[in-house]
Amino acid sequence: KNYFFSMFPIVTWIHRYNFQWLVRDLIAGATVGVVIVPQSMGYAKLAMLSPQYGLYTAFVGLCVYCLFATSKDISIGPTAVMSLLVGQTVTRVTTEYPSITGPQVAVVLSLMTGIIAMFIGLVRLGILVDFIPAPAIAGFMTGSAITITIGQCPKLFGIKGINTQDSAYLIFGNFFKNLPNTQVDVAFGLTGLLWLYGIRFACQKLTTRYPKYEKHLFYFSIMRNGILVIFGTLIAFLINIGKTTSPISILKTVPAGFQAMHVPVLTTELISAIASSLPSAVIILILEHVAIAKSFGRINDYQINPDQEIIAIGFTNIWAAFFGAYPSTGSFSRTAIKARSGVKTPIAGIFSALVVLLALYALTPAFYFIPDATLSAVVIHAVADLVSGPAYIKRLAKVSLWELFVFVAAVLITFFTSVEYGIYVSLGLSIVILLFRIARPRFWGLGRVPLSTSTGSNTSQKVQESEEIQKYLYVPTNHPSLGPLVEDLPAGILMCRIEESVTYPNSSFISDKIITYAKQNTRRHGAVISKGDRAWNDDADPVKEAARSQLPILHALIIDFSSVNRLDSSGLQSIADAKNTLNRYSGHDVEFHFTNLVQPSIRRSLIVAGFG
């Protein structure tokens, strides 16, 4: 019963719904609706589909999500990265299989990604999202945004004959090659970009200067997309009066209503054709949505349920397939607008859906004269926020060069190939780096730094004697700041620290490190062995061994387990093997001491292995 009701979070809050919430949801929903209508048509063109398919996708995503939502802010619908992937898939499949149409590919892709996401959510496998690091996400998002921007440039300039589904570097080269063929569309495109960015920055400056008008400036800034499309369409209509052929590229006929509603047709040929794109589509679907939902949950002080969100996005895409829509997920830009508009509940999505519905049934005749260059300007302006700026890259460089490498690799692979390969490469590199860090943990030999002495008391035979207690700080011998102050431990005693759980991927490495560290700092027992008496696998140099005769014999090894949270059977055996090797090397039983044991289970395992 609890599991069933957990899938419909709306039942936990709908009874508290009130008029004040309704007003705020209505304002936020209408605001997002004004933004999503032009964006969805632009994204549909990016997905190599007719504009109405973007409106279908927007309507279903906005309408259905509120039933399953655990986030009040997120706005579901067509997004730039998913549209790019759908467009690349449509181009590939329709080229290989001429009998398959673009809408068929989009519908089946929506259905299959929805089913897979729904399964992942129902069996509570949302934890898999945590294995994908932020630099990998930022990398293919940035690469996709750059690819989309370059892909929209030919339409922005009215240049025809360029395949905008090629790799970004090819589009970039062909764009400059065909730049002399620029048409009058460029006036609409560049003017549109200038308007969008000009209003945005002007509103930001004015908000800083006149804080009391913040709300008014915010809503005016949000309206900039709609105002651009309205005026662009009006001018396009005026210049087409009396002409049989339009001097600019325009949207043309957009069918009213839901013309593509049907039960999805599944064939083995169609499923096999899109199969290679399914993994990347599911990754984008889940990653974009969960990452945005978590981000705005932290900003607005509430928690989301990742598994429930995956169920929501899965069901939304299954349902969308029956409306002729293509895969949809959470949009960062529209979610930010929705949050700033003062949304109170997920029901705001229904009001956004009503705006889309109004556009589908009442405004489609007006869409005929929308310039393609204007829609390209809207798309470019929308995806610019997906690019990670210099500040993020500098922070990555300071924190981890490996993560910077993952980020750069994702951007370059996406730029030179496709968004699919960008996703696979970034995830593959992230997993390899994670496994390498587990398999090759840091190992430190420790020394001690004497601290100030303190006076203690010792009771012996009822006589108190004052004595000085020397305390020490134990740090790596090559510590960057305390290194010169580090002293050796008493002769025959060594101390080391392992900075990772000791498990089967790193057990052999840690065992070798312990043995090597002990042999470097102590000598073997007995006299130096002659060449004739040495074992075949003993690679010790007798001359060097003689020079090491001043080193002490190992008596005790202290291992700091403060960073060890798990010790499995392979790790336990590797430590036992290291002890046996050092016993033979030292000629007697070497005491192994373990300090800072953080888990009782580790203590029990060590006792079982005979270390107690």
Distance of CA 413 to the CA centre of its chain: 16
Q: What is the predicted pLDDT for the residue at 462?
A: 47
With beta carbons less than 8 A apart as the criterion, state whether 325 and 356 touch: no
Angle between helices 214-222 and 185-209 (to 10 degrees): 170
Separation CA 74–CA 81 (nearest Å):
17
- What does the block give as tokens for 223? 């309206």
Q: How confident is the model at residue 164 (pLDDT cuts 50, 70, 90)?
A: confident
Q: 3-state SS string over 289-306?
A: HHHHHHHHHHHCCCCCCH
What is the amino acid identity at position 536?
W
- What does the block give as tokens for 464? 């108190």
Q: What is the predicted pLDDT for the residue at 463?
A: 45
Predicted confidence (pLDDT) at residue 464 exceeds the cutoff of 60: no
Q: What is the predicted pLDDT for the residue at 525?
A: 82
Q: What is the predicted pLDDT for the residue at 243?
A: 86
If you average pLDDT over residues 292-316, what whole number do you get? 91
Q: What is the predicted pLDDT for the residue at 2?
A: 80
> Which stretch of DSSP H or E encloses residue 77?
strand 75-77
Measured CA distances, 78 to 56, 64, 84, 329, 608 (Å): 9, 14, 10, 7, 58
Predicted confidence (pLDDT) at residue 397 exceeds the cutoff of 80: yes
Tell me the torsion sign for CA atoms 44, 45, 50, 52: positive
With beta carbons less than 8 A apart as the criterion, state whether 448 and 473 touch: yes
pLDDT tens for residues 249-291?
999 889 999 999 999 989 999 999 999 999 999 999 999 899 8
pLDDT tens for residues 199-238?
999 999 999 999 999 989 999 999 999 999 999 999 999 9
DSSP codes joined into one string, 351-393 = HHHHHHHHHHHHSGGGGGG-BHHHHHHHHHHHHGGGS--HHHH
Predicted confidence (pLDDT) at residue 506 exceeds the cutoff of 70: yes
**Domains (ranges, CATH) in the chain?**
1-432 (no CATH), 443-451+470-526+536-609 (3.30.750.24)
Q: What is the predicted pLDDT for the residue at 425?
A: 92
Q: How confident is the model at residue 470 (pLDDT cuts 50, 70, 90)?
A: confident
- What does the block give as tokens for 38? 């032009």
Q: What is the pTM of this model?
A: 0.84
pLDDT tens for residues 97-110?
999 999 999 999 99
pLDDT tens for residues 14-73?
999 999 999 999 999 999 999 999 999 999 999 999 999 999 999 999 988 988 889 999
If you average pLDDT over residues 475-500, what whole number do you get? 92
Q: DSSP alpha helices (H): ranges in 300-347?
A: 306-321, 332-340
Predicted confidence (pLDDT) at residue 448 exceeds the cutoff of 90: yes
Predicted confidence (pLDDT) at residue 3 exceeds the cutoff of 90: no
Separation CA 15–CA 98 (nearest Å):
52
Q: What percentage of residues in the chain have a pLDDT greater than 70?
A: 94
Q: What is the predicted pLDDT for the residue at 8?
A: 87
Q: What is the predicted pLDDT for the residue at 152?
A: 93
Rounded to the nearest integer, the mean pLDDT of the chain is: 90
> Which stretch of DSSP H or E encloses residue 465?
strand 463-469
Q: Which residue has the higher pLDDT, 11 or 108?
A: 108
Q: How confident is the model at residue 507 (pLDDT cuts 50, 70, 90)?
A: very high
pLDDT tens for residues 353-384?
999 999 999 999 999 999 999 999 999 999 98
Distance of CA 541 to the CA centre of its chain: 52
Q: What is the predicted pLDDT for the residue at 528?
A: 61
Q: What is the predicted pLDDT for the residue at 541?
A: 66
Mean pLDDT check: name the lowest of 41-45, 419-423, 533-537.
533-537
Q: How confident is the model at residue 453 (pLDDT cuts 50, 70, 90)?
A: low
